[in-house]
Amino acid sequence: MYKKYFTVSFDDGLEQDKKLIALMKKYGIKGTFNINGGLLGERGTVKRIGNLAFQDCGEGRTSGAIIKYTEHNRIPGDEIAQVYAGMEIASHSYMHDWLGKLPKQEMMKSINMDIDALEKIAGYKIRGHAYAKGSTSKEVQAYLKKEGILYARGIMSSKSFCFPKNPLNLRPTCSHITKEARINGLIDQFIKAKPLKEDMLFYMWGHAYELDFNTKEASWDKIERLFDRIAGKEDILYCTNAEAFTAHNN
């Protein structure tokens, strides 16, 4: 019998994840958090205009008339295991490196250092990865597979519910910043769908700092409405990324 899986994925290991996880637990949602092992505890801000974030800035910036600044403070290493208990910790490159643009040896080093750092903290094998800025290549994907990574996520939305043919080049269903009417349509379609021919996957991703933007399409109120809409369905399995791919492959 084929099944339906719902999962979320959030990047960078941020202080806002604590509030997000509390909200996820309220609605019975599970997911995966992608962390840079070389940046644990780093503090800073993200420069943004509307829903678009540009770069990490030094700590202590303040909002301007047009450009706003949102906190981007990473959780210290000694808190990681407790904060993400019950969720999945996955890799995100050691220093938020664009793996597809690195020379081979540097790419391999970034992956290995990140996995090693996170496994020591998490106490279990790291099975997933999220590409920083979506940067990947066939060489990167082959190396992740060699290192035991089960799946790796990009950033371009698929607007579909299909498990990818190549799980090392996963395209999520959508970002939480997608227009709410569009996401509601996808959620309703997923709820009504019957997995008669294959397993189905609804995969939503983002960054928890985006929820502080308090804009129409990026806010805590919006994501709670999305969780409320998708939650509590008897025929949907709410799981981490690795749980979804492991179950699908078995």
Tell me the pTM: 0.96
Instruction: Look at residues 189, 204, 188 and name the one whose alpha carbon lies nearest to residue 238.
Output: 204
What CATH number is associated with residue 241? 3.20.20.370
Closest CA to 140 of 178, 176, 97, 177: 97
Q: DSSP letters along 5-57, please? A: EEEEEEES-BTHHHHHHHHHHHTT--EEEEE-TTSTT---EEEEETTEEEEEE
Tell me the pLDDT tens digit for each residue of 220-233: 999 999 999 999 99
Q: Residue 60 to residues 17, 19, 55, 167: CA-CA distances in angstroms?
A: 20, 22, 14, 39
Residue 65 pLDDT > 70? no
Give residue 142's pLDDT.
98
Q: Is the pLDDT of residue 21 over 80?
A: yes
What is the predicted pLDDT for the residue at 55? Answer: 77
Task: Say which range, 48-57, 82-91, 130-139, 224-233, has the weakest mean pLDDT.
Answer: 48-57
Residues 6+ apart with CB under 8 A from 69: 45, 46, 47, 48, 57, 61, 62, 63
Domain span including residue 50: 4-249
Q: What is the mean pLDDT of the segment spanning 18-42?
A: 98
Q: How many domains does the chain have?
A: 1
Q: Hunting for tokens 């749980």 — which residue is that? A: 243
